[in-house]
Amino acid sequence: MSDPSPAPASADASSVSIAPSPRLPLAILLLGAALLPLPLRPWPSLVIGVFGLFLLVQTYSLRLEFRADTLVVWRGQQELRRFPYAEWQSWRLFAAWLPGLFFFREVNSIHFLPILFDPAQLREQLVLRVGSLETPKP
């Protein structure tokens, strides 16, 4: 039985997939290791380390693809969700240098995503595709 959704490679010529960036998961794993000397060890390190490993797996299994009129989220060859730019109201990157969080608001929902992708490429594509909706820093 074949999957009805097209693979990321078959998208139109104007589509761009963002490269993964393991900086956030690795920083969280290092934080977990740094907490080992705490009196409650190993529980804080274990919880934070498992979260860091979860994010590391997500970094290499998820892909963001910017198409001409929509943002598509992929897990391998399976399309998870589409976010049409026409429904976006605003977006913002929080602490992209860390990297931190990617926020965007649609007509009916708000999304906060950890930046598991190259933050420079992410910003470049957001400015190119929906730049006028960027929320200024306070």
Read off the pLDDT of residues 66-122 as tens digits, 9 standing for 90 and up: 999 999 999 989 999 999 999 999 999 888 677 788 899 999 899 998 889 988 899
Tokens of 51: 């979260």
Does position 3 have pLDDT exceeding 60, yes or no? no
d(CA 117, CA 126): 13
Does position 60 have pLDDT exceeding 80, yes or no? yes
Tokens of 108: 């009916």
Pairing label, strands 62-66, 70-75: antiparallel
Residue 18 has a CB neighbour count (10 Å cut-off) of 21
Query: What is the DSSP code (8-state) at residue 12?
Result: -
Residue 94, pLDDT score:
86
Average pLDDT over residues 45-56: 93
User: Which residues partner with 105 through β-bridges?
Assistant: 90, 110
Does position 4 have pLDDT exceeding 80, yes or no? no
Q: Summarize pLDDT for 13-50 with one digit per residue, the tens.
A: 689 999 899 988 999 999 999 988 888 778 889 999 99
Phi, psi of 107 (to 5 degrees): -55, -45
Residue 106, pLDDT score:
93
Phi, psi of 56 (to 5 degrees): -65, -40
Tokens of 96: 């992209």
Residue 42 has a CB neighbour count (10 Å cut-off) of 12
CA 31 to chain centre: 20
